[in-house]
Structure 1
Amino acid sequence: MNPIATNLKTRRSILKMGSSILALPFLETFAMAKGTSASVASAAPKRLVFLGGGYGFTHQSFYPKEAGRFADIGLTQGLKPLERHINDITMVDKLFNPNITDPHAGTAGYLAGAKNKVSCDQVAAQYFSGQARYQSLVLTAMGDNGTSGHGKGGLTLSCSTQGKPMDGIKRPIDFYYTLFGDGEKSPKEVEKMLAQKRSVLDVIASNGTTMKRRLAKHDQERLEEYFQSVRDIELGLERQAKWAHVPKPEAPFDEPSQDLTGVEEVKIMLDMIILALQTDSTRVATYRFPVESLLKSIEVSISGHVMSHYSSSVTKRQDSEKRDKAVMELFAHFIDRLKATEDRNGGTLYDSTIVNYGSNLRTGHTLRGCPTILSGGGVTNIKHGSHIVLPELTPTSNYWLTLLQEAGVEVNQFNESSGVVSQMLS
């Protein structure tokens, strides 16, 4: 048996801590694809993590009243859980998603900064394609009564290259088996399966090209979207073939309980994101926090949508503030984990990661002024520790373009962007 795997098994009792886990040292064996040299693997790659939730935050108690260094202006009641990271967070205010006018449309447009456009995580995922087992990890959540959630966009942050909301992994146990599952096919079986799929795709592409010449312009555009989906599948097959010979890392803790919900559910999902980054399972991850189960776990008895109409009720406002506190504690927990986990170059995951928490709404159902809270040492030209207030209606796409460039993605335009956010750059 692999000596690293043996060592992990003997440490399970130490690593298992209820719903949380201790950070592991860097596992070089699992972070290198076959044929990758140790010298190449020694350089820590950039990672991007996008976290988010719906309904924004409580207007009166969350947002700072002025711009400036947090050390000078202080943290609001809602931001207090981040106090231990006060010099490692940046809040950017007054961002706006043009063409999004429905506050019930869900969070799918947030990372796109526009309607029906690709999200920035998927742009980064395509750029880093092939460098990790999974091009990206899209983690979502179930809404009320097991549905996709209130609103048409559902509980997802990611949109495909066609601008469609992407479904994702919803339960901790499913995420666990995605990262560590051992019930996969042998490399030979995978190669045979891939060869069969490629032959089918070749036929589709050949027939489609012939068909395209006889179609009207509108139908040609629809067929081109279909071709893009085929190309995405082909890229996925290439990546799958590359990683078929690389074993998945051994799980450092037992599978999570299927009964986990709310705060504990979110914690274990965040902890597994840390492991996914550290074992190079992915370079890009998004996680849309659950709403209803999280509220129930902090003893809020009303739904997220009802709570969002808190302006006329002191009790609802108190519930909203309780939600803000819980969410920021979870964000602080994730930053803790990044800082405590060793990376391949001897530093920490924090040093090479860009992590953002935000919402498609500012507060309640207000579309203007979408909140973003940035952390991570993966940004080299941004000095943390400030609340930055931008001119009204600054496109959110400008913000995402700035982060993409900070991650090393070679792109000069992103959806509705008019340039980078120069106020963030040092």
Structure 2
Amino acid sequence: MNTSLNRRTVLRGAGAAVSLPLLDIMRPQTAAAAAAANAATAPSRMAFVFFPNGAIMDRWKPEGEGSDFKLNDTMESLQPHQQDLLLLTGLTQNHARANGDGGGDHARNASAFLTGAQPRKTAGADIEVGVSIDQAAAKLIGDKTRLPSLELGIERGRNAGSCDSGYSCAYSTNISWKSPNTPNAKEVNPRLAFERLFGTPEGAATQERRNKFRKSILDFVADDAARLQQKLGGTDRHKLDEYFTSVREIEQRIDRANHLRPKEIPEMQLPEGVPSELKEHLRLMYDIMLLAFQTDSTRITTFMVGDAGCNRSYRDVDVKNGHHELSHHRGDKDKIAQIAKIDRYLTEQFAAFLSRMKAVKEGDGNLLDNSMILYGSAISDGMRHSHDDLPILVAGKGGGTIKSGRVLHYPKETPLNNLFLSMAERVGANIKELGDSTGPLDIG
């Protein structure tokens, strides 16, 4: 009797399918089978976790270099994962700087973080920055999973009005940009994020009727748009083309849903709304990211643990003043100590997530081994609004392509975007350039 299971086996249920993680039963049963099935490996995934307001850098940076290093105070909770980390110094996001545009470093911090582009200074509708690395990669490999990417956050924010020195709130509340003019709205409600991944337990007939209705509406819009395009000028044709591209992507998702039977929905205890406790909110959103990777529902995620310039207090660690307010500490030792508490607290939540990732076995390793989780910001010193020598780490081995457990010191002004090119390459997205990139970093 054949006791193995095909790697492509999926759970089928209500309108789509969920790929299974790499199970032992999927592994070859003989040496000959192993030689013939080397391709049956787990996919590589990448995630980008953004935190606001920079960090107290002398408590962030590790001591030492290469594999001989010691984690500093902020990083202490990551000690069990030290061999899973790359800690990188010297990286810069130049387009988070003013470059002649004056104030607004927090808005530029978020909007340039993954795009590597200079945001247009405007509080109006004419926002423009660039395509972010997650979306550039999703365009190349997003068709391999049910969702091309998943965008998560803790604060909903808003995309209209001015939030930072004449910059639109869209710049402060988004790190994922589908096009230079179109941010990807993040989901902050754990239940809705879960349903974005797996849908709801509706009957197959109801789901099929709904999909058919949506498809007929999309066909109508597409035909109408094609006729209208003939009457438009160049700028309007460009805007309509962006819209039309989004319509086609929705059509493709619906087509996939129509050809799949109902799926099993993983069990997860979720509140009805947004949790009132920050620690629980962070844990749930990290767990949804884990589940998205484990089920191969997507291989690309972004997560904002706070919007740019976030002024939240952190009562869990007895910090009653606002984070952004404290970041302008002017050397006040008490304020610096409070910010260090915040830095440490957020790192502890990230470390707990890494522990849960490592607990998920996958092949000869675990889920973290087959992932790259970047944790960082495009501001280093929050008081000076510095955008060089950034607080950046990458957790995971990228499917064995990253030599982790090291501190890597790069020359001053090395573009952060070079790291993004290296990460994208490891998930199968060969992206030649992003922002001011000069070529992939050697992190193998």
SS of the counterpart of 1:138? strand
Q: 1:272 to 1:200 in 2, by over 3 A?
A: closer
Alpha-carbon distance between aligned partners in 1 of 2:238 and 2:180, rounded to the nearest angstrom: 11
Tell me, yes or no, if structure 1 residue 280 matches structure 2 residue 293.
Answer: no
When the two structures are superposed, what TM-score results if normalisation uses the length of structure 2?
Answer: 0.77
Q: 1:277 to 1:35 in 2, by over 3 A?
A: closer
Give how far 1:372 is off. Answer: 1.7
Tell me, yes or no, if structure 1 residue 56 matches structure 2 residue 54.
Answer: yes
Q: What are the residue-to-residue correspondences of 1:107-118 with 2, within 5 Å? A: 107-115=110-118, 116-118=129-131
Alpha-carbon distance between aligned partners in 2 of 1:166 and 1:298, rounded to the nearest angstrom: 32
Deviations 1:206-238 (A, max 9, x none): 444444444333333333333333333333333
Deviations 1:270-300 (A, max 9, x none): 1232222222332222211135557232221
Q: 1:350 to 1:36 in 2, by over 3 A?
A: closer
CA contact (8 A) 2:83 2:405 kept: yes
Deviations 1:357-389 (A, max 9, x none): 011211202222333210112253321122222
Q: 1:384 to 1:132 in 2, by over 3 A?
A: same
Tell me the residue number matched to 2:352: 333
- Decide which of 253, 274, 286 is 1:236's aligned counterpart: 253
- Structure 1 or 2: more helix by fraction: 1
Q: 1:35 to 1:64 in 2, by over 3 A?
A: closer
Tell me the residue number matched to 1:370: 390
Alpha-carbon distance between aligned partners in 2 of 1:262 and 1:53, rounded to the nearest angstrom: 14
CA contact (8 A) 1:114 1:397 kept: no
For structure 1, the 5+ residue unaligned runs are 1-25
CA contact (8 A) 2:78 2:348 kept: yes
For structure 2, the 5+ residue unaligned runs are 1-6, 21-25, 28-36, 99-103, 119-128
Tell me the residue number matched to 1:304: 323
SS of the counterpart of 1:319? helix
CA contact (8 A) 1:262 1:294 kept: no
Paired residues, number: 393
Alpha-carbon distance between aligned partners in 1 of 2:182 and 2:43, rounded to the nearest angstrom: 28
Moved more, 105-114 or 246-255: 246-255
Tell me the residue number matched to 1:119: 132
Deviations 1:62-88 (A, max 9, x none): 12466x22x524222222221122221
Alpha-carbon distance between aligned partners in 2 of 1:176 and 1:53, rounded to the nearest angstrom: 22
Alpha-carbon distance between aligned partners in 2 of 1:155 and 1:172, rounded to the nearest angstrom: 18
Give how far 1:195 is off. Answer: 3.7
Q: 1:163 to 1:47 in 2, by over 3 A?
A: farther
Tell me the residue number matched to 1:14: none
Give how far 1:391 is off. Answer: 2.6
Tell me the residue number matched to 1:9: none
Tell me the residue number matched to 1:93: 89
CA contact (8 A) 2:419 2:440 kept: yes
Partner amino acid for 2:303?
Y
Alpha-carbon distance between aligned partners in 2 of 1:248 and 1:292, rounded to the nearest angstrom: 40
CA contact (8 A) 1:119 1:160 kept: yes
Alpha-carbon distance between aligned partners in 1 of 2:257 and 2:296, rounded to the nearest angstrom: 14
Partner amino acid for 1:219?
D
Tell me the residue number matched to 2:106: 104
Tell me the residue number matched to 2:31: none
Tell me the residue number matched to 2:30: none
Tell me the residue number matched to 2:233: 216
SS of the counterpart of 2:326? helix
Tell me, yes or no, if structure 1 residue 404 matches structure 2 residue 424.
Answer: yes
Alpha-carbon distance between aligned partners in 2 of 1:144 and 1:310, rounded to the nearest angstrom: 25
Alpha-carbon distance between aligned partners in 2 of 1:257 and 1:229, rounded to the nearest angstrom: 28
Tell me, yes or no, if structure 1 residue 261 matches structure 2 residue 261.
Answer: no
CA contact (8 A) 2:91 2:416 kept: yes
Q: 1:34 to 1:346 in 2, by over 3 A?
A: farther
CA contact (8 A) 1:30 1:279 kept: no
CA contact (8 A) 1:59 1:363 kept: yes
SS of the counterpart of 2:392? strand
Q: 1:207 to 1:253 in 2, by over 3 A?
A: closer
- Decide which of 207, 215, 218 is 1:190's aligned counterpart: 207
Alpha-carbon distance between aligned partners in 2 of 1:317 and 1:35, rounded to the nearest angstrom: 46
Aligned-pair RMSD on alpha carbons?
3.4
CA contact (8 A) 2:44 2:398 kept: yes
Alpha-carbon distance between aligned partners in 2 of 1:328 and 1:417, rounded to the nearest angstrom: 28
Tell me the residue number matched to 1:135: 148
Tell me the residue number matched to 1:316: 335
- Provide the identity percentage: 26
Give how far 1:251 is off. Answer: 0.9
Partner amino acid for 1:154?
S
Tell me, yes or no, if structure 1 residue 419 matches structure 2 residue 439.
Answer: yes
Q: What are the residue-to-residue correspondences of 1:346-361 with 2, within 5 Å? A: 347-361=365-379
SS of the counterpart of 2:178? coil
SS of the counterpart of 2:410? strand
SS of the counterpart of 1:99? helix
Alpha-carbon distance between aligned partners in 2 of 1:205 and 1:143, rounded to the nearest angstrom: 31
SS of the counterpart of 1:311? coil
Tell me the residue number matched to 1:22: none
Give how far 1:240 is off. Answer: 3.7
Alpha-carbon distance between aligned partners in 1 of 2:196 and 2:270, rounded to the nearest angstrom: 14
Tell me, yes or no, if structure 1 residue 226 matches structure 2 residue 224.
Answer: no
SS of the counterpart of 1:128? helix
Partner amino acid for 2:387?
L
Alpha-carbon distance between aligned partners in 2 of 1:312 and 1:31, rounded to the nearest angstrom: 58
Deviations 1:110-155 (A, max 9, x none): 122224112222233333334333322211122799x999642234
SS of the counterpart of 1:154? helix
CA contact (8 A) 1:308 1:320 kept: yes
Alpha-carbon distance between aligned partners in 2 of 1:29 and 1:211, rounded to the nearest angstrom: 41
CA contact (8 A) 2:178 2:184 kept: yes
Q: 1:294 to 1:257 in 2, by over 3 A?
A: farther
CA contact (8 A) 2:18 2:297 kept: no
SS of the counterpart of 2:428? coil
